[in-house]
A and B are shown apart, each in its own frame.
Chain A
């Protein structure tokens, strides 16, 4: 009897050891590369330099953020434009996901999906360069507009908010299409056929059957796209130039140009807080649970 209990104890102990060993790489990664840097940044953001190499704990950085109109205005602008970009991405991606899963069949569907993925094999920088060549004043599209007689002179199409939004939608399409496709694929076609047989209009079917079913996928896509957009540095900077006023650029300026790491760390934490708050608000408004949504993405 005692031997059996001892054997069971050893086995549970072994199982626990295996679990710990299997989890170790992920936990080490999380702790060393995500938790530790954040702790250091948090400490940085909560201190103030009073003299060379002399620091005292203070909330001066956060005070500066609210005292300077530029900082919080750029903060609000970044959040608003990110929400608009996420909504636009959803509007553009949903019909494509629908065509891939429900309209196209067999090979055509697979081919369309792969074709949607191909542009994302190329780096974001190269894609932004493509937009630069297309849209700049001496670029392809303004020259085409002049040739067609629509504008007398080449117009500058870069450095507008619309340009930034176009670039952001372009870079985040993939991250919306993939969760939408996976959530629409699990929707049974016979439900839509039944709705049609019972006389439901296309809009009624969309509202009562498709969207409730795809809601976790839609939310997952929106969260990913919103996070990527809010934290994007390259696209707003290249396509928006000095007019872009994106919050990540302010963080870059504090760290690299002004060498004010304390202020930069405070800005970083404010951005983290903002994205967390908006995602939590979005989940609350759409009535989704975070765990369900993350399982779908």
Chain B
């Protein structure tokens, strides 16, 4: 329900959880690409072999 109406506690919790899950879904692939760009390997994939900045 809208902000000006009383909302039960479970609905508030569910809203926060849903928004959090949505943002994780939205940003995990991007964060993963960003992080693995620094992996010291030929391919941007696990396992993690240390950080490298040069190509």
Contact B23 A102 (CB under 8 A): no
Interface contact B3-A105, CB-CB below 8 Å: yes
Return the chain A residue nearest B5 by Cβ. Answer: A196
Which residues does chain B contribute within 8 Å of A95, judged by CB atoms? 15, 18
A-B Cβ contacts below 8 A, count = 74
Complex interface bits, B8-24 against A, C-beta within 8 A gives 1, otherwise 0 = 00000001001100110
Q: Are A99 and B1 in contact, with the CB atoms below 8 A?
A: no
Interface positions, chain A 73-102, Cβ under 8 Å from B, are 92, 95-96, 99, 102
Contact B4 A130 (CB under 8 A): no
Binds B, one of A4-12, A19-27, A114-122, A214-222: A114-122
A231 at the interface (CB under 8 A from B): no
The verdict on A131 contacting chain B, using a C-beta distance below 8 Å, is: yes
Q: Would B15 and A103 count as touching, CB distance under 8 A?
A: yes
Let me know if A186 is at the binding interface, CB within 8 A: no
Q: Please report which residues of chain B, range 17-52, place their CB below 8 angstroms from some CB of chain A when the two chains form the complex.
A: 18-19, 22-23, 25-30, 32-33, 36, 44-47
| Cβ–Cβ contact A193 & B30, under 8 A | no
Question: Given A119-B27, A143-B46, A112 and B2 touching (CB < 8 A)?
Answer: no
A residues near B36, Cβ cutoff 8 Å: 133
Given contacts A96-B19, A116-B26, A131-B29, contact A103 B46 (CB under 8 A): no
Query: Is A196 a contact partner of B1 (Cβ separation < 8 A)?
Result: yes
**B28 is contacted by which of A96, A130, A138, A189 (Cβ under 8 Å)?**
A130
- Residue pair A96, B4 in contact (C-beta under 8 Å): no
Instruction: Please list the residues of chain B having a beta carbon within 8 angstroms of any beta carbon in chain A.
Output: 1-5, 15, 18-19, 22-23, 25-30, 32-33, 36, 44-47
Chosen A-B contacts, 17 in total, with CB atoms closer than 8 Å, are A99-B15, A99-B19, A119-B26, A119-B27, A119-B30, A129-B29, A129-B33, A130-B28, A130-B29, A134-B32, A138-B45, A139-B46, A143-B47, A173-B26, A189-B2, A193-B5, A196-B5
